[in-house]
Amino acid sequence: MESTKRRPPPLTHSRSIGTVVGRSGFGDGAVGGDAAEPVSPAGLLFRQRRFDCYIVAALGIGVPIDVDAVKSGLVSTLVRHPRFSSVLVAGDDSGEKLKWVRTKVVIDDHVVVPDLGADSSGEGIGGSASSADKVVEDYVSNLSAAPPMDASRPLWELHVLNLRTSEAAAVAVFRIHHSLGDGLSLISLLLACTRRTADPTSLPTLPQPRLPLPPPPRSNALLNAILFLWALIVLTWNTAADLFDLLASSAWLKDTPTPLKGGAGTELRRKRFVHRTLRLDDVKEIKDSMNCTINDVLVGVTSASISRYLNRRYGEADEGNDSKKELPANIRLRSAMLFNVRPQLGIQALAEMMDGKNCGVAWGNLLSYIILPFPVIMYNDPLDYVRAGKAIAERKKNSLQAILTYRCAHFCVRKFGIKPGVAMIRGLVSNTTLSYSNIVGPVDEVSFYGHPIVYIAPSVYGHPHALTLHYQSYINEMRVVLGVDESTIPDSHQLLADIVESVKLIKEALPKKL
């Protein structure tokens, strides 16, 4: 029954599509043009029955939502984007060649305002913010068990929940099919629909990464040549080792079974989405003290929290058995981490795209995978988790695995069809434990069509992982978002608490400033 519920809806042949308006769809990896564009290999992957993935992004809003104002704003921005005004259609009689074709968008078909049985104060559900939090959490989780979207319309929805919670006056939830684009491009696009609260005419400002300064050139030409050759050898070795690891993981190399590892059918089950806030200043303090990057810190924090969680789960006595187990040694626990093979999309360029300008922006799912291991061990010194995270991240930076994996997968799908590519990616995800990502958000408060945003909490479902972990920064906060299969992880809020506690312990272990 569950597999039928999650089956992608049948597509309509292009000759039976109704009114097609405006310019035809933009292709994955191209913008502009007057002809329908084929779906990219990654877009085809996310259309498969056992990999039918959706992105859900909850926006906490600081005031009650004016539904008419939001509809008007969507019509003038998001609806003008080619992906959000296109449908997937069969390009030939066999139904194998899918294309994006522009169609007429009826905004009322895409904005959902459910009756939650309560007014904006939450009185109808008991009058408490905690009750409202549970209602919103259940509603968003129910979206992961909802029937697939109607393929005769563009594959996106906005759910407006005018309910006051403990953190927001209302919540807006986007549900977007993953074939429309990768997570980075879609979050960037949503941000391009917002404006700075302090200056409603200005687009959001994203932090600019500070690249490390290159080492000063050495005067010894022979030494420079030796160092270059050594760096090339290390890069080649790491790339070859990573590609072998990826192929082995796709075929037979599995993670150790743990209380976090999902089983058969995980992708078909309802997911629960929960989130908490970390102080971004705490993460930056750890970063500066340890001379590393924010991502290094988050890898270390994730490793520490997973170790705490598993140590507790293994230490619990089995029902009917008073004996407790110790945390096993040498646990293999890895993330199949989505990696974007292009630079971050510019907010300005995306805003121009929605204005109908051909700004040359590459759109679509330009994705690859890297395997990111997380050590599971109870270190005596909490800083060892960050040191290990830094070493892991540095090792992955010295590898071309992501680029070569993308090129190889793209070639295989074009040459042999989508089925071998699906088998490889599904094997990789099924044999690892979790999905992991870290997304950079605006440094200033932004408003969604006049509604100030309190938090941004993205996640995804439809893939065979029982745990999906996202970090999303916004202003001076870092939002931790978990998507879990409750049959595997029944205590998702405890895992959130372990992440918060791990940051606290690592910060307290930092050397004291004189």
Active site residues per annotation: 178
Distance CA 326, CA 311 (A): 7
Q: How far is CA 313 from the centre of its chain?
A: 26
Rg of the chain over Cα atoms, rounded to whole angstroms, equals 23
Q: Which residue has the tokens 């939650």?
A: 116
| Residue 15, both tokens | 């000759």
User: What is the distance between the terminal CA atoms of the chain, rounded to a whole angstrom?
Assistant: 63
Q: How far is CA 55 from the centre of its chain?
A: 7
CB atoms within 10 A of CB 439: 19
- 342 within 8 A of 362, measured Cβ to Cβ: yes
- 102 within 8 A of 85, measured Cβ to Cβ: yes
Extended strands (E) in 351-466: 367-373, 434-439, 446-448, 451-461
| Residue 90, both tokens | 């069969």
Distance CA 444, CA 314 (A): 42
| Residue 490, both tokens | 């029944």
- 321 within 8 A of 419, measured Cβ to Cβ: no
- Helices 221-251, 401-416: axis angle to 10 degrees equals 50
Extended strands (E) in 420-512: 434-439, 446-448, 451-461, 467-474, 477-485
DSSP for 32-98, written as a single string: --SS-EEPPHHHHHTTSGGG--EEEEEEEESS---HHHHHHHHHHTGGGSSGGGEEEEESSTTS-SE
Nearest residue to 98 via CA among 106, 87, 107, 85: 87
Nearest residue to 77 via CA among 194, 163, 170, 165: 194
Which distant-in-sequence residues (6+ apart) come within 8 Å of 209 by Cβ?
none
3-state secondary structure of 303: helix
Distance CA 326, CA 313 (A): 9
362 φ, ψ to 5°? -80, 125
Nearest residue to 500 via CA among 298, 312, 334, 335: 298
| Residue 476, both tokens | 């001076």
| Residue 114, both tokens | 């459910």
Q: How far is CA 381 from the centre of its chain?
A: 31
